[in-house]
């Protein structure tokens, strides 16, 4: 009776896989003092204590490991698409790709197994490895759109393009979709009000970009008082301005 109870845990203990892992305990050493030479056909001379003093040449534990190649099982943001063979640092590969099951080791079988099928190729979900990151970053910022306080203007895509460039985002004019309502100025009622525009990356991914209008005057005495870190403040949406229309590609 007792025996039967203890069988399973014992078996469990036994079945615990003894993974043969390479233990990196190799140290390359060099003798500090060379042992004396000996004559041919004679016994080597006895080495003294000082001949056992070593200097460290290399510790293989802290040596930089070469990159590892793996096959991606799915699309991974910032890495690549399904079926791609990518070369990354081994720790990144192990912790972020192999352990979560996003990739498999680069073997011919795995490459064949995880290659993209025709159906998957036609249904493109991601245009590039970094497009999603750009979308995330665009959606996390509040873009300051600085317009003139004295001259009349109507908001156009190139205004957003120039504002994005000032904020460190490079973008083509075709990618920007403004809300269909006209945004005109100068109008101090619109100061510090939000509106949204859509950025389409590689004609595929779409990001909703939050923009905030500010008025700026060329004459320093006419300028509005400086607001520190306006993007942390709460603000209201621009009246009568809705979201930009969705492009036909996403509605399909």
Q: Which residues of this chain interact with other proteins, rule CB under 8 A? A: 127-128, 130-131, 133-134, 137-138, 146-148, 150-154, 158-159, 161-162, 165-166, 168-172, 174-175, 199-202, 216, 218
Asked if residue 186 has a cis previous peptide bond (ω within 30° of 0), the answer is yes
Q: How far is the CB of 127 from other proteins (least distance, A)?
A: 7
Q: Which two tokens stand for residue 50?
A: 């000082």
Q: How far is the CB of 122 from other proteins (least distance, A)?
A: 21
Q: How far is the CB of 211 from other proteins (least distance, A)?
A: 14
**In this complex, which beta carbon is closest to other proteins, that of residue 110 or of residue 217?**
217
**In this complex, which beta carbon is closest to other proteins, that of residue 98 or of residue 131?**
131
Pairing state of beta strands 205-216 and 142-148?
A: parallel
Q: How far is the CB of 30 from other proteins (least distance, A)?
A: 32
Residue whose token pair is 């005057």? 217
**In this complex, which beta carbon is closest to other proteins, that of residue 229 or of residue 234?**
229
Query: Do 77 and 129 form a contact (C-beta atoms < 8 A)?
Result: yes
**In this complex, which beta carbon is closest to other proteins, that of residue 118 or of residue 219?**
219
Query: Do 139 and 199 form a contact (C-beta atoms < 8 A)?
Result: no
Residue 128 has what DSSP assignment? Answer: S
Q: Is the dihedral of CA 229, 231, 236, 237 positive or negative?
A: positive
């Amino acid at each position: 009776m007792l025996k039967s109870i203890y069988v399973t845990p014992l078996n469990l203990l036994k079945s615990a896989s003894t993974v043969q892992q390479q233990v990196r305990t190799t140290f390359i050493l060099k003798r500090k003092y060379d042992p004396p030479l000996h004559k041919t056909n004679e016994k080597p001379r006895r080495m003294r204590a000082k001949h056992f003093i070593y200097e460290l040449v290399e510790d293989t534990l802290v040596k930089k490991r070469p990159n590892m190649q793996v096959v991606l099982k799915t699309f991974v943001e910032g890495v690549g698409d399904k079926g791609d063979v990518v070369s990354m640092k081994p720790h990144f590969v192990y912790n972020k790709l192999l352990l979560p099951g996003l990739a498999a080791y680069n073997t011919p079988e795995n490459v064949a197994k995880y290659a993209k099928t025709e159906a998957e190729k036609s249904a493109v979900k991601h245009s590039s490895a970094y497009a999603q990151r750009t979308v995330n970053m665009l959606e996390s910022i509040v873009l300051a759109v600085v317009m003139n306080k004295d001259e009349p203007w109507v908001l156009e895509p190139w205004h957003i393009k120039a504002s994005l460039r000032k904020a460190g985002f490079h973008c083509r004019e075709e990618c920007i979709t403004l809300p269909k309502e006209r945004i005109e100025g100068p109008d101090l009622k619109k100061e510090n009000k939000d509106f949204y525009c859509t950025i389409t990356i590689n004609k595929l991914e779409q990001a909703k970009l939050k923009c905030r209008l500010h008025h700026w005057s060329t004459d320093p005495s006419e300028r509005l008082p400086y607001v520190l870190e306006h993007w942390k403040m709460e603000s209201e949406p621009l009246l009568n301005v809705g979201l930009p229309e969705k492009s036909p590609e996403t509605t399909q």
